[in-house]
Amino acid sequence: MRLAIVGAGPAGIYAADLLIKADRDFDVEIDLFDQLPAPYGLVRYGVSPDHPRIKGIITALREVLDRTDRGDDAQAGDAGNAGDAAEGVDTEAARAPRGSVHYHGNVRYGEHIGLDDLKRHYHAVIFATGAILDASLDIAGIDAEASYGAADFVSWFDGHPDVPREWPLDAKQVAVIGNGNVALDVSRMLIKHAEDLLPTEIPDNVHRLLEQNPIEELHLFGRRGPQYVKFTPLELRELGEVRDVDMVIDERDFDIDDPYVAETLMKNKQVIVLTRIMNQWREAQKLRDAGEVAPASRRLHLHFWSKPVAVMQDADGRVSGIKIERTAPDGAGGVVETGEFEVVPVQSLYRAIGYFGSPLEEIPFDEKRGVIPNEQGRVIGADGSPVPGVYATGWIKRGPIGLIGHTKSDAMETIECLLEDRASWWQPEAPEAAAVVELLKSRNVPYTTIEGWHRLDAYELSLGEDQGRERIKVVSREEMTRVSLAE
């Protein structure tokens, strides 16, 4: 069997790993395509660089590609151990995998290779292209100058090769809308002192601009109460550990009587931990207010029960403030509006309210949800029936929800359906592995391989070593490709 997977982030790599280890009576060869010259998708380009836990996930993903790309004889053993430690690869099934995975980077679906090409060379395809656009926020003034999407900012500070190298960091007061982990990543990167990011793989151009960041105050807004946040305890704790930043709490947000919190939310261990962390910040604030602790140079204000209703603008059309309506609990986990408004002065704004998927050429797409319509990973066409040979996994399948590790169970469901559908797979005219390589060469596609990624990886590490850092990420697509191809 020959299978194509489009997208070499966690979702695509987990799908490849699970298929290789699946209980089946035939061999499988998988070609893993990605539009970027380097693999790992969201882990490399969607998570802030100061997360040490991400290194473990990358180790797990790398071992999947290395183990399969160098041949069946090297596939068994303990390669899955790192994956278990980082929400990754199943070691139980790793005893005798049958098949191989070959990585082809710098290949754009819809430009370098299309659906007809996939049908000619493979029995089926899984799309694992994720979600990289910002979800929209329908409030007045959201398109003002200095109003940004979190996804764009994350791509910039992670050194995504297809975004501008510059970012306008010129605001002393900044707003971030959202109560999820992405909102925390954006807030931490904005409020953190640039020198504290040097131990990470932050790109040089990003570090240089963050050094000039004049920020003094950041305001983080959520429309529900502190017990409703979608943060993980680790992320929230990391935010409070940022050097020279005071966490500022509004005591009004904790004095609201909400039966749903006591009856439902406070029975959740994660909510209990999150509440404990915020209570520690409240106690620290009391010490500052009493003059027992010196204030920091930067402040991060947490605003709960605060619904953004408009972005205020100055005479030049630039963000000048954010108008908030105070909300109250409805007793059932939702909120009601109170009619109480206030305007918080800010000069820039970031919305971190979710990601949105991108449509793919010749593939059905749900414009409202930003996903490929599917049932358990089987892509569904306009007539409501499954599209033979076409599957989806990850965020493009279920929407941008869940942690990175959740993509593994998601991929397992898709793989099970794919194997059940063997009778409806495509019948490729040219399934030979060499045929795809020849196709890419004939179209002058400078595709990269896993060996090329190893070269780029070593090059980035050497750049970091020269400056006493662990790694310096290469940002330019041209340089990434040049190094990968050893040109």
> Which amino acid type is present at position 183?
A
Tokens standing for residue 283: 């106690």
List alpha helices for 74-146, DSSP H.
Answer: 81-85, 115-121
Expressed in angstroms, the distance from the first to the final Cα of the chain is 34
Cβ atoms 379, 392 nearer than 8 A: yes
CA 329, CA 331: separation in Å to the nearest integer? Answer: 5
Q: Identify each DSSP E strand in 99-201 by its residue range.
A: 100-104, 124-127, 133-134, 147-149, 173-177
Per-residue pLDDT for 407 more than 90?
Answer: no
SS3 of residue 298 by DSSP: strand
pLDDT of residue 89: 46
Which two three-digit tokens encode residue 357? Answer: 């998927």
Question: In Å, how far are 362, 366, 369 from 390, measured between CA atoms?
Answer: 11, 15, 19
Task: Give the Cα separation of 11 and 129 in Å (integer).
Answer: 8
CA separation for the pair 83, 302 (Å, rounded): 35
State the DSSP code for 38.
S
- Confidence check: pLDDT of 343 > 80: yes
Q: Which residues contact 94 (CB under 8 A, 6 or more apart)?
A: 21, 75, 76, 77, 79, 80
In words, the CATH class of domain 2-131+357-447 is: alpha beta
pLDDT of residue 403: 67
Domain boundaries, the chain: 2-131+357-447, 133-351
| Sign, Cα dihedral of 251, 242, 53, 106 | positive
When mean pLDDT is compared across 15-29, 105-119, 399-413, 417-431, the lowest value belongs to 399-413
Phi-psi category of 159—alpha, beta or left, where left has phi over 0 and alpha has psi -120 to 50? left
CB atoms closer than 10 angstroms to residue 18: 22
Q: Is 317 left (phi over 0), alpha (psi -120 to 50) or beta?
A: left
User: Residue 92: what pLDDT?
Assistant: 42
Q: What CATH superfamily classification does 133-351 receive? A: FAD/NAD(P)-binding domain (3.50.50.60)
State pTM to two decimals: 0.88
- The first and second tokens of residue 220, run together, are 């983080």
Q: What gap in Å lies between CA 340 and CA 360, rounded to an integer?
A: 44
pLDDT band at 23 (very low <50, low <70, confident <90, very high): confident
Q: In what order do the strands lie in the sheet with 100-104?
A: 100-104, 29-33, 2-6, 124-127, 386-392, 378-380, 374-375
- Predicted confidence (pLDDT) per residue in 165-219, tens digit: 999 999 999 999 999 999 999 999 999 999 999 988 899 999 999 999 999 999 9
Q: Are 179 and 354 in contact (CB under 8 A)?
A: no
Q: Is it the case that residue 402 has pLDDT exceeding 80?
A: no
CA 98, CA 267: separation in Å to the nearest integer? 45
Please check whether the two domains, 2-131+357-447 and 133-351, share a CATH topology.
no
Helix (H, G, I), strand (E, B) or coil at 21: helix
